[in-house]
Protein backbone atom coordinates (compact mmCIF):
# COMPACT_ATOMS: atom_id res chain seq x y z
CA UNK A 1 0.00 0.00 0.00
CA UNK A 2 2.75 2.35 1.00
CA UNK A 3 4.91 1.68 -2.05
CA UNK A 4 1.86 1.87 -4.30
CA UNK A 5 1.06 5.42 -3.14
CA UNK A 6 4.66 6.38 -3.74
CA UNK A 7 4.48 5.08 -7.31
CA UNK A 8 1.34 7.13 -7.92
CA UNK A 9 2.99 10.34 -6.80
CA UNK A 10 6.06 10.06 -9.00
CA UNK A 11 4.42 10.74 -12.40
CA UNK A 12 2.73 13.82 -10.83
CA UNK A 13 6.08 15.27 -9.75
CA UNK A 14 7.61 14.63 -13.17
CA UNK A 15 4.72 16.43 -14.89
CA UNK A 16 4.95 19.68 -12.84
CA UNK A 17 8.74 19.94 -12.76
CA UNK A 18 9.41 21.01 -16.41
CA UNK A 19 6.91 23.91 -16.24
CA UNK A 20 8.32 25.13 -12.93
CA UNK A 21 11.84 24.95 -14.30
CA UNK A 22 10.78 26.76 -17.45
CA UNK A 23 9.17 29.62 -15.48
CA UNK A 24 12.19 29.89 -13.17
CA UNK A 25 14.55 29.91 -16.15
CA UNK A 26 12.43 32.53 -17.95
CA UNK A 27 12.38 34.78 -14.86
CA UNK A 28 16.14 34.43 -14.43
CA UNK A 29 16.77 35.36 -18.09
CA UNK A 30 14.40 38.32 -17.77
CA UNK A 31 16.21 39.57 -14.65
CA UNK A 32 19.62 39.18 -16.29
CA UNK A 33 18.36 41.14 -19.32
CA UNK A 34 16.94 43.94 -17.13
CA UNK A 35 20.17 44.19 -15.11
CA UNK A 36 22.35 44.08 -18.25
CA UNK A 37 20.16 46.75 -19.92
CA UNK A 38 20.49 49.00 -16.87
CA UNK A 39 24.25 48.46 -16.77
CA UNK A 40 24.61 49.32 -20.48
CA UNK A 41 22.63 52.56 -20.01
CA UNK A 42 24.74 53.44 -16.96
CA UNK A 43 28.02 52.71 -18.73
CA UNK A 44 26.99 54.72 -21.84
CA UNK A 45 25.98 57.59 -19.55
CA UNK A 46 29.24 57.47 -17.56
CA UNK A 47 31.46 57.16 -20.64
CA UNK A 48 29.72 59.79 -22.81
CA UNK A 49 28.20 62.11 -20.17
CA UNK A 50 25.60 63.41 -22.70
CA UNK A 51 24.58 67.09 -22.45
CA UNK A 52 21.71 68.83 -24.25
CA UNK A 53 22.67 70.83 -27.35
CA UNK A 54 22.12 74.59 -27.08
CA UNK A 55 20.38 77.03 -29.41
CA UNK A 56 21.37 80.71 -29.27
CA UNK A 57 20.97 83.92 -31.32
CA UNK A 58 24.23 85.88 -30.89
CA UNK A 59 23.33 88.50 -33.51
CA UNK A 60 20.27 89.81 -35.35
CA UNK A 61 19.28 92.80 -37.48
CA UNK A 62 15.94 94.48 -38.08
CA UNK A 63 16.38 95.57 -41.70
CA UNK A 64 12.91 97.02 -42.24
CA UNK A 65 9.58 97.33 -40.49
CA UNK A 66 6.41 99.17 -41.45
CA UNK A 67 2.67 99.01 -41.00
CA UNK A 68 0.61 99.23 -44.17
CA UNK A 69 -2.14 101.54 -42.99
CA UNK A 70 -3.82 101.81 -46.39
CA UNK A 71 -4.82 98.17 -46.39
CA UNK A 72 -8.55 97.77 -46.97
CA UNK A 73 -8.52 94.13 -45.90
CA UNK A 74 -8.97 94.42 -42.17
CA UNK A 75 -11.20 96.53 -39.98
CA UNK A 76 -8.15 97.64 -37.96
CA UNK A 77 -6.63 98.67 -41.25
CA UNK A 78 -2.97 97.85 -40.52
CA UNK A 79 -0.84 95.02 -41.83
CA UNK A 80 2.73 94.27 -40.75
CA UNK A 81 5.67 94.11 -43.15
CA UNK A 82 9.14 93.41 -41.83
CA UNK A 83 12.55 92.03 -42.70
CA UNK A 84 14.62 90.43 -39.94
CA UNK A 85 17.89 88.49 -40.20
CA UNK A 86 19.18 86.39 -37.31
CA UNK A 87 22.41 84.52 -36.73
CA UNK A 88 21.77 81.19 -34.99
CA UNK A 89 24.38 79.28 -33.02
CA UNK A 90 23.82 75.53 -32.58
CA UNK A 91 26.25 74.28 -29.96
CA UNK A 92 27.05 70.66 -29.27
CA UNK A 93 28.65 70.76 -25.80
CA UNK A 94 29.54 67.03 -25.89
CA UNK A 95 33.18 65.96 -26.20
CA UNK A 96 32.30 62.42 -27.33
CA UNK A 97 28.89 62.66 -29.00
CA UNK A 98 28.12 63.76 -32.56
CA UNK A 99 24.72 65.37 -33.14
CA UNK A 100 22.56 65.26 -36.28
CA UNK A 101 19.81 67.81 -36.77
CA UNK A 102 17.20 66.60 -39.23
CA UNK A 103 13.78 68.30 -39.17
CA UNK A 104 14.11 71.97 -38.25
CA UNK A 105 11.52 74.74 -38.25
CA UNK A 106 12.20 78.23 -36.90
CA UNK A 107 9.34 80.66 -36.30
CA UNK A 108 9.33 84.40 -35.68
CA UNK A 109 6.60 85.89 -33.47
CA UNK A 110 5.55 89.43 -32.71
CA UNK A 111 3.79 89.10 -29.31
CA UNK A 112 1.23 86.31 -29.98
CA UNK A 113 1.24 86.44 -33.78
CA UNK A 114 3.34 84.18 -35.96
CA UNK A 115 4.82 86.53 -38.56
CA UNK A 116 7.35 84.34 -40.43
CA UNK A 117 8.51 80.72 -40.66
CA UNK A 118 11.67 79.15 -42.08
CA UNK A 119 12.83 75.57 -42.38
CA UNK A 120 16.52 74.72 -42.31
CA UNK A 121 18.31 71.97 -44.20
CA UNK A 122 19.59 69.06 -42.08
CA UNK A 123 23.16 69.31 -40.77
CA UNK A 124 25.49 67.74 -38.22
CA UNK A 125 27.45 69.22 -35.33
CA UNK A 126 30.65 67.32 -34.55
CA UNK A 127 32.09 66.74 -31.12
CA UNK A 128 32.22 70.03 -29.14
CA UNK A 129 31.37 71.97 -32.31
CA UNK A 130 29.27 75.14 -32.78
CA UNK A 131 27.51 75.69 -36.11
CA UNK A 132 26.46 79.17 -37.19
CA UNK A 133 23.55 79.65 -39.60
CA UNK A 134 22.15 82.90 -40.94
CA UNK A 135 18.36 82.99 -41.26
CA UNK A 136 16.26 85.55 -43.11
CA UNK A 137 12.64 86.22 -42.13
CA UNK A 138 10.40 88.23 -44.43
CA UNK A 139 6.94 89.22 -43.23
CA UNK A 140 4.50 90.43 -45.84
CA UNK A 141 1.06 91.92 -45.03
CA UNK A 142 0.44 89.99 -41.79
CA UNK A 143 -2.59 90.97 -39.73
CA UNK A 144 -1.92 91.94 -36.11
CA UNK A 145 -4.46 92.48 -33.33
CA UNK A 146 -5.22 96.10 -32.39
CA UNK A 147 -3.26 95.66 -29.11
CA UNK A 148 -0.25 94.44 -31.08
CA UNK A 149 -0.51 97.37 -33.52
CA UNK A 150 -0.54 99.83 -30.61
CA UNK A 151 2.44 98.09 -29.00
CA UNK A 152 4.50 97.90 -32.20
CA UNK A 153 3.96 101.63 -32.85
CA UNK A 154 5.17 102.35 -29.31
CA UNK A 155 8.21 100.08 -29.70
CA UNK A 156 9.25 101.43 -33.11
CA UNK A 157 8.89 104.97 -31.73
CA UNK A 158 11.07 104.02 -28.75
CA UNK A 159 13.62 102.28 -31.01
CA UNK A 160 13.36 98.94 -29.11
CA UNK A 161 11.36 96.27 -30.95
CA UNK A 162 10.88 92.90 -29.28
CA UNK A 163 10.42 89.59 -31.13
CA UNK A 164 10.23 85.96 -30.06
CA UNK A 165 11.95 83.17 -31.96
CA UNK A 166 10.88 79.55 -31.52
CA UNK A 167 12.75 76.61 -32.98
CA UNK A 168 11.71 72.97 -33.13
CA UNK A 169 14.44 70.47 -33.99
CA UNK A 170 14.56 66.73 -34.49
CA UNK A 171 17.87 65.82 -32.94
CA UNK A 172 19.89 62.61 -32.86
CA UNK A 173 22.83 61.92 -30.58
CA UNK A 174 25.34 59.38 -31.89
CA UNK A 175 27.25 57.50 -29.19
CA UNK A 176 29.91 55.90 -31.35
CA UNK A 177 28.42 54.30 -34.44
CA UNK A 178 26.19 51.73 -32.73
CA UNK A 179 24.10 53.54 -30.15
CA UNK A 180 21.82 56.36 -31.32
CA UNK A 181 19.20 58.33 -29.52
CA UNK A 182 16.61 60.65 -31.14
CA UNK A 183 14.56 63.34 -29.45
CA UNK A 184 12.84 66.70 -30.04
CA UNK A 185 14.57 69.87 -28.93
CA UNK A 186 12.81 73.22 -28.41
CA UNK A 187 14.69 76.52 -28.50
CA UNK A 188 13.04 79.78 -27.41
CA UNK A 189 14.61 83.21 -27.65
CA UNK A 190 13.49 86.75 -26.97
CA UNK A 191 15.38 89.32 -29.03
CA UNK A 192 15.18 93.08 -28.72
CA UNK A 193 16.24 95.07 -31.77
CA UNK A 194 16.76 98.74 -32.49
CA UNK A 195 14.61 100.20 -35.27
CA UNK A 196 15.93 100.59 -38.84
CA UNK A 197 18.17 101.78 -40.42
CA UNK A 198 20.67 100.29 -37.91
CA UNK A 199 18.37 97.62 -36.45
CA UNK A 200 21.08 96.30 -34.15
CA UNK A 201 20.57 93.65 -31.49
CA UNK A 202 20.05 95.28 -28.09
CA UNK A 203 19.50 92.15 -25.99
CA UNK A 204 18.77 88.44 -26.36
CA UNK A 205 17.78 85.65 -24.03
CA UNK A 206 17.53 81.99 -25.07
CA UNK A 207 16.56 78.72 -23.43
CA UNK A 208 16.78 75.22 -24.88
CA UNK A 209 14.52 72.45 -23.60
CA UNK A 210 13.79 68.82 -24.37
C1 LIG B 1 28.47 79.89 -30.24
O2 LIG B 1 28.34 79.26 -28.97
C3 LIG B 1 29.56 78.81 -28.41
C4 LIG B 1 29.23 78.08 -27.14
O5 LIG B 1 28.38 78.80 -26.32
C6 LIG B 1 30.49 79.97 -28.18
O7 LIG B 1 31.72 79.51 -27.66
C8 LIG B 1 30.70 80.69 -29.50
O9 LIG B 1 31.51 81.84 -29.29
C10 LIG B 1 29.37 81.10 -30.11
N11 LIG B 1 29.60 81.74 -31.39
C12 LIG B 1 29.14 82.96 -31.67
C13 LIG B 1 29.48 83.51 -33.02
O14 LIG B 1 28.48 83.61 -30.88
C1 LIG C 1 25.80 91.77 -36.20
O2 LIG C 1 25.37 91.81 -37.55
C3 LIG C 1 25.58 93.08 -38.15
C4 LIG C 1 24.94 93.04 -39.52
O5 LIG C 1 25.23 91.85 -40.21
C6 LIG C 1 27.08 93.39 -38.21
O7 LIG C 1 27.29 94.64 -38.79
C8 LIG C 1 27.61 93.37 -36.79
O9 LIG C 1 29.01 93.55 -36.80
C10 LIG C 1 27.28 92.06 -36.10
N11 LIG C 1 27.67 92.14 -34.71
C12 LIG C 1 28.41 91.20 -34.13
C13 LIG C 1 28.70 91.40 -32.68
O14 LIG C 1 28.82 90.22 -34.75
C1 LIG D 1 12.12 102.31 -24.36
O2 LIG D 1 13.52 102.13 -24.51
C3 LIG D 1 14.24 101.99 -23.30
C4 LIG D 1 15.73 101.85 -23.61
O5 LIG D 1 15.99 101.94 -24.96
C6 LIG D 1 13.72 100.76 -22.52
O7 LIG D 1 14.40 100.65 -21.27
C8 LIG D 1 12.23 100.89 -22.29
O9 LIG D 1 11.75 99.70 -21.69
C10 LIG D 1 11.52 101.11 -23.61
N11 LIG D 1 10.11 101.29 -23.39
C12 LIG D 1 9.17 100.59 -24.05
C13 LIG D 1 7.75 100.94 -23.75
O14 LIG D 1 9.45 99.72 -24.86
* CA-closest residue to ligand 1 atom 14: 58
Per-residue pLDDT at 78: 81
pTM: 0.79
| 40 plus 114 within the same structural domain | no
Q: Is residue 7, in this structure, part of any structural domain at all?
A: no
Check the CA dihedral 66-68-74-77 and report its sign: positive
- Alpha-carbon distance 140 to 111, whole Å? 17
The CATH number covering residue 134 comes to 2.60.40
- Alpha-carbon distance 167 to 185, whole Å? 8
Quick: pLDDT tens for 32-72: 999 999 998 888 888 877 888 999 999 999 999 998 876 56
Per-residue pLDDT at 166: 97
| 179 plus 85 within the same structural domain | yes
| 83 plus 34 within the same structural domain | no
Does residue 3 surpass a pLDDT of 70?
A: no
Q: Are 161 and 65 in contact (CB under 8 A)?
A: yes
Domain that holds residue 42: 17-48
The partner residues of 128 in beta bridges, in order of sequence, read none
Quick: pLDDT tens for 88-124: 999 999 988 999 999 999 999 999 999 999 999 999 9
Q: Nearest-5° angle of CA 189, CA 202, CA 130?
A: 50
193 CA → ligand 2 middle, Å: 12
**CA-based nearest residue to 186, from 74, 53, 63:** 53
| 44 plus 148 within the same structural domain | no
Answer whether 59 contacts ligand 2 (Cβ < 6 A): yes
Amino acid sequence: MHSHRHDLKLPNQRRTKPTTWFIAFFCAVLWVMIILGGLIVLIVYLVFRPKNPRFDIPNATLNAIYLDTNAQLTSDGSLLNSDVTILTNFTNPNQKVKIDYSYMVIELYYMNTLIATTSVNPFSAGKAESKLLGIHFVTSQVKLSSDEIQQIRKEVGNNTVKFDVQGKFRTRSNFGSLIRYSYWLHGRCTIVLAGPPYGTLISHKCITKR
